[in-house]
Amino acid sequence: MSPKLSALHNRMFKAKAAKKLSFEDIGKKIGRDEVYVASIFYGQAKPSKEELEKLSAVLGLPENHLKEELGEGFYPDRGGLMSLPPTDPVLYRFYEMIQVFGYPLKAIIHEKFGDGIMSAIDFSAKVEKVENPKGDRVKITLDGKFLPYKKW
């Protein structure tokens, strides 16, 4: 599908489509959150040995294909899937949130935690659908460890 994804990742997407599985479905079967599962499909996360075995079973793809390319010696070269600023409106809105609310969020983090950052590595993200008569709402929760700056 995407020229920026490897052939194997494209096969994973095809198998998922053919089996009409959502990321949520897959997540339930391999015991991971759906966002995390999607990150594996987009080559943004390193699946463990167990995850690859379960993915092989769920997607019907040969285990050795998955393990050879995405196993032990594979460390994702993260990012790079999109040009920045992103052109797709869904992605751009995230970018706009940084443009507009980036400094306010930084200020609040410092007021609450002091001098440091919110980790994007020791980090998780979750998406929920909140039904609302005026129009459903997307609720995204970002959860990252606070890392204080070291002095030396």
Site for a second copy in 55-84 (CB under 8 A): 68, 73, 75-84
Closest by CA to 8, choosing from 72, 52, 54, 48, is: 52
Instruction: Catalogue the active-site residues.
Output: 93, 96, 119
What is d(CA 39, CA 47) in angstroms, rounded to the nearest whole number? Answer: 10
Q: Taking the complex as a whole, how short is the minimal distance between the CB of residue 9 and a second copy, in angstroms?
A: 11
38 binds a second copy (CB under 8 A): yes
Q: Taking the complex as a whole, how short is the minimal distance between the CB of residue 57 and a second copy, in angstroms?
A: 19
- In order, the DSSP letters of 47-79 are --HHHHHHHHHHHT--HHHHHHHHSTT------
62 versus 136: smaller Cβ distance to a second copy: 136
Chain-centroid distance, C-alpha 28: 16
147 binds a second copy (CB under 8 A): yes
Asked whether the beta carbons of 26 and 102 are under 8 A apart, the reply is: no
62 versus 78: smaller Cβ distance to a second copy: 78
Q: Which token pair is 129?
A: 């659908």
Q: Taking the complex as a whole, how short is the minimal distance between the CB of residue 3 and a second copy, in angstroms?
A: 10
Site for a second copy in 84-123 (CB under 8 A): 84-113, 115-123
What is d(CA 89, CA 84) in angstroms, rounded to the nearest whole number? Answer: 12
36 versus 66: smaller Cβ distance to a second copy: 36
Question: What is the size of the binding site for a second copy (CB under 8 A)?
Answer: 94
49 binds a second copy (CB under 8 A): no
